[in-house]
Every structure is written in structure tokens, then in C-alpha cells.
A = this chain, B = another copy of it.
């Protein structure tokens, strides 16, 4: 990919295009799968479910707890914290623009937002409900959900399938357009600072955009090995290689240390970094990536320029009304 990208870049430079860019602007709408077209009723239901802590065993953890849409779409923690203060080994990825990921989870084990949404609810260290049958039973006791599911899907519709479809439909609305970068590539030349433009050019030149390409900067490809080069001193410092990535699920040697290429959109808001959240600052994340993936030692200035460019990928967050969660009148939630 790196070579092709460099070629495109060179072509752009040589052509009559007035500004060379790393990728197109972010679309303002996300495509939906044929079996789950986005509708207002589904989005409304999905927004309720997404924010409802009753989808956890303790009634304290909602999807939004770790993927906070009032912030950068995650929790700014090294690793996520589920019910009863439990933690796993991975950092919560941002939900913003996740509709543009080709696969979901750090290890890419889910092929759709729908499939992803089913996971955390019954993960014992995340939301901790025993089974989706238990989730459905809980939702069926809540009159307001009966109506909301009927509005979205018709009839007696509460199921794992419909709940995850509604959550995915809501997530497809979570898009952050009009970042300085987007405004820049659509012709507003002053939208990025000189330093940000310099950082963009450097990122392309180095090959960062070989994997982090396309409007969401998450690749034409889907997976990438991390680390690519010898882990060296960073292994001792950040323990990146403990997590075998996709191979943790597939147990195949070819999947070892393969991870989904994460989006760079809003990355300035989503510290700490990497699958295990081991790196606290964006500068250090840039330094580490250049060394481990491209075997390049960057200067302080180069790092600052690239970090400035990455700050230009912070988009506009759409205004959202808080959902009103349907009550369980006269009784406790479980």
C-alpha cells in the first residue's frame, strides 16, 4: 500500500491539482447494510439502548460509559472498566466514525457494527449480563421499550438481532465532519496551519498514510501487523507484544499481532494510545509508530508537525438530544 500511496501522492504533486492531500474529506453519511437500513425510529431506539445502563448486570455500565459520545467517543482510560470495576487488556476504541471501519474491535473480530454491539453486553468483564436471553427478558419488562421496538421493527420485536441493529443504526449517525483537514481538502486553504500542512506532507512522505489512508484514515486494507519491526526497547516500556491481536481469537499463527488499522479521526481526543492504552501522549504515539512500523527515527520537529496535523483531524461533533430512557415504573430494574 505504501508504494501505491506514494505514487498517488507524487501524481497529485505533479498534476494541476492545486493542493495535494492525504485523503478525501469525511463523508457526512455512512452506508448501512441492506438488512438494516437506517431509519429515524431505529436510531431513536438505538440511542436509548446505547445510553441505558440497564443493559449491564449491575445497572451501571452502558455502551456510552466506555464509548462516551459527550467526549471523544471513548473513555480516555488506558483500558476500559466494566461492571464491578473490572478491567481487561484493551483500550476502548472511539465510536465516532466507527461506521467507516471495515471491521470492529481492536482485533477486528466483528465484521459489522451489529456484530460488535452484541459483544460487550454479555462479556463478563464489560457489561456482564449472562446471556442475550436475559437481556431480552429484561427489556421486555420495560413497557416503553416494547413500543420503541415496535415502532422501529414492527410487532413483538425485542430480540438480540433487533437490539443490535438499532444500536448499529444509531452508531452510523455518529460522524464528525468539517475538521480543519476536511475544510482544507475541500478548498479552504487557511483551514490548516502551515505546521499542519507540513505534518500532513511528512505523514504521507514517511508512509503513515500507507495504512492510515482513505477519508477515515483507517486504510484501504483492514488489518496490519503491530509491531512490524523489532519491538526493541519499546517492548520493555509498553509491553505491546503481549497481546496477540486477531490470533487471540483465531489461534492462527498468521494472525499473530494483527490488529485493525484504527481511524486517526479525532485522535487528539482519544489518549491514551494503542491497543493497550500504554502510551499517554500523541507525540509519543507518533514517535513509536514511526519507529515500530516504518523503522524511522523522527526529529522533535517532525513529531510536532505530524501531531499538529493529527489535531487537524478533530471534527465537528453533532448536537444530540439526550434520550429519555423508558422507565420500569413501580419496580427495580432487575
Chain A residues near B (Cβ < 8 Å): 51, 53-54, 58-60, 65, 68-72, 75-78, 81, 83-86, 268-269, 271-272, 277, 280-283, 307, 311, 314, 317, 319-325, 327-333
CB distance from A199 to the nearest CB of B (A): 13
Instruction: Beyond A84-B84, A271-B330, A319-B322, list 7 extra A-B contacts (CB 8 Å).
Output: A53-B68, A54-B76, A70-B323, A77-B333, A268-B329, A272-B332, A282-B331
- Which of chain B's residues has its CB closest to A81's CB? B60
B319/A321 in contact, CB under 8 A: yes
Copies in the complex: 2
Residues of B within 8 A of A70 (CB): 51, 322-325
Residues of B within 8 A of A86 (CB): 85
Main secondary structure of the interface of A (DSSP, over half): loop
- Which of chain B's residues has its CB closest to A277's CB? B332
CA distance A269 to B325 in the complex (A): 11
Residues of B within 8 A of A59 (CB): 75-77
A280/B51 in contact, CB under 8 A: no
Cβ-neighbour of A332 out of B71, B77, B83, B322 (below 8 A):
B77
Q: Do A330 and B282 contact each other (CB < 8 Å), given the known contacts A84-B85, A85-B84, A322-B320?
A: yes
A269/B85 in contact, CB under 8 A: no
A271/B321 in contact, CB under 8 A: no
- Which of chain B's residues has its CB closest to A84's CB? B85
A53/B78 in contact, CB under 8 A: no
B281/A78 in contact, CB under 8 A: no
Q: Do A60 and B75 contact each other (CB < 8 Å), given the known contacts A280-B332, A282-B330, A317-B324?
A: yes
